[in-house]
Chains A and B, each alone.
Chain A
Amino acid sequence: MSLNFSRDALPLLLVAVGALCLPLLGNDYYLGVGFTLFGWVALAQSWTLVSGLAGYISLGHVVFAGIGGYLLVLTWGAVPIWLGAIVGAVGAGLFALLVGLPVMRVRGPYFVILTFGLAEFAKYVVINIESVLGKFSRLLLGGPALQDLYWVMAALALVGTFSVVVVRRLRLGAGLIAIREDETAAGTLGVPTMRFKLIAFALSALLPGLVGAMFVLRTGYFEPLQAFDPIISFTIVTMAIIGGSEDARGPVLGAIFLVLLSELLWSNFPQVYMVILGVLLIGFVLFAPNGVSGLLDRLASRSLQRPGVGLV
């Protein structure tokens, strides 16, 4: 298995080195930023598995994080915390398999709005379950320390990045890209399209399940409107579009960029931040559909060509 440095090794190195360096700054603020950053990296990489490779754009990926968080809350006190988080991930994966059967048959823009509707549906179901149970927001006291959560999240980001690098090299990855380019043709040529799409959908739900559980542990409380907030889905999409969703590099770049931007602006000027987010999204879709990652590729190929022209 040969690694392309810029496409595969670079994002892995960025995450690994970043994870090791941030704690050296010796400040809880940086640990917190790192925790958020790695959470977004893991989410955006998971999204890339199904939406970047197979082209099935999910506008409701928050649903898996929400389910992960909710299952952790439901098992709180009954099982050890980390086991609860794993239950969350498995639950999210099973949910993806179950709804994937009908949902992955729906194509194109219908799929996009369907994923959004599904996430909102799940949100209101959880809200109603909670109100029937008489709980309106739950406090979770005595969770793990920030330091532990930080390392778990860094590991999740690394696993997410690695999974995109690996899947792209498997038959599965080739099949998914073929589905994105022309699903009918891919099916005719023997790609088991439905099975591949289901596997990709379920894989892309596992990490978000864990990330959602980590977010709940970090804040120490669970509130459905927040855990299933559609803005989370949109941010994932925006990150992947800005970074590029062709390989593992894009989501890392996109996440770093947006987290930095949000650290600068969110606390003081949340609305300005959101407006900039909107402008960036439109700009990238119109003028750089392959994101920063695609721009880098173009830059690299141009600088390679230039000396050749000079020699002639």
Chain B
Amino acid sequence: MDILLSGQLLIAALIIGSIYGLVALGLNLIYGTMRLLNIAYGDLVMIGGYVGYWLFTLAAISPIIAMLVAGVLTGLLGAALYFGLFRRQLSGRQSIERIEANSLLIFFGISIIIQNVTALAFSATPRTYNALDSLVQIGEISITQSRMAALLVCLGLSIFIVFFLRLSPLGLSIRALIQNRTASQIVGIDVNRVQLFAFVTGFALAGLAGALIGVTEQISPFMGFPFTIVAFVVIILGGLGNLAGGLLAGMLLGIIETYGVALTSANLRSILIYGVFILVLVLRPEGLLQKRRMT
């Protein structure tokens, strides 16, 4: 019982929650604006992990800088995919009706390709490296620098994005597109530009988070899938397309997971996450935190 009340566990929950929140935010941006279900999302996290690994191992570049490089790289990949595959799909009237189901299959194809190209290039062997591993002491709690960095960057970036969406013109256009696509076209929003921005930002966030995650976890070509699942759990909990709801849901899942595992055993972690996922989908597919249905 003492463990449950300790600050150590709380901070662990917050770290996991903030990572989940940021990862899900990118997925939610893409789903909300374009109704594209990106199940290759975890693989972008994996790419970010490898970028961090190679930059540190070959050039001793700190993960804090590597995370920017990773974000730019996955963002560029996003731009390439947007122009190459999705722009045409999003502009045709027929294709847009089938976009949700189709995007799921297309992104699944992309996911297989990314995973296996990575495995061909770097082999399937899991890798780890030690960077930012000195301890930071806050009162009775001690955490590694890398986890501290993950917490600060994820929280800071998430809050920044939420404010950006509420205050800047581009952010407001994104929210308009999420609320009503046709109406935003009528009031003169450049849908194509906003979509590109949301797509690239979503991809960049995944890569960036990946570089941070890679410091604390094993990196392998197939590490991405659990993150895809977690991101889906989070955005369904928070409501598909509801960005702030997703952040809260990320924290909620982090807390459920950390305390659930502490109360039971680490073996039950996956059952816990999938259990929450199934319950939410069956009981409230519109999300726990969603106030009204989107049109």
Contacts and interface: CB of A to CB of B under 8 A. Distances in A.
A binds B: yes
Interface in A116-170: 117-118, 120-121, 124-125, 127-128, 131
Contact of B101 (A109, A120, A128, A275): A109
The interface centre, meaning the residue of B104, B112, B232, B281 with most chain A CB atoms within 10 A of its CB, is: B112
A114 B229 CA distance: 11
Given A278-B113, A282-B110, A124 B119 contact: no
Interface in B87-134: 89, 98, 100-102, 104-106, 108-113, 115-117, 119-120
A67 interface: no
Given A113-B37, A277-B112, A282 B277 contact: no
Given A120-B270, A128-B271, A279-B113, A110 B105 contact: no
B285 A106 contact: yes
Contact of B116 (A110, A112, A241, A275): A275
A131 B85 CA distance: 44
Contacts of B267: 127-128, 131
Interface string B257-285: 00000000001101100110110011001
A57 interface: yes
A281 B105 contact: yes
A270 B274 CA distance: 29
Contacts of A279: 109, 113
A237 interface: yes
Interface string B225-243: 0000100100010000000
Contact of A124 (B106, B110, B271): B271
Contacts of A118: 274, 278
A267 B37 CA distance: 32
Interface in B49-107: 85, 89, 98, 100-102, 104-106
B259 to A, nearest CB: 19
B274 A121 contact: yes
A272 interface: yes
Interface of A: 57, 59, 102-103, 105-106, 108-110, 112-114, 117-118, 120-121, 124-125, 127-128, 131, 234, 237, 241, 271-272, 274-275, 277-282, 285-286, 289
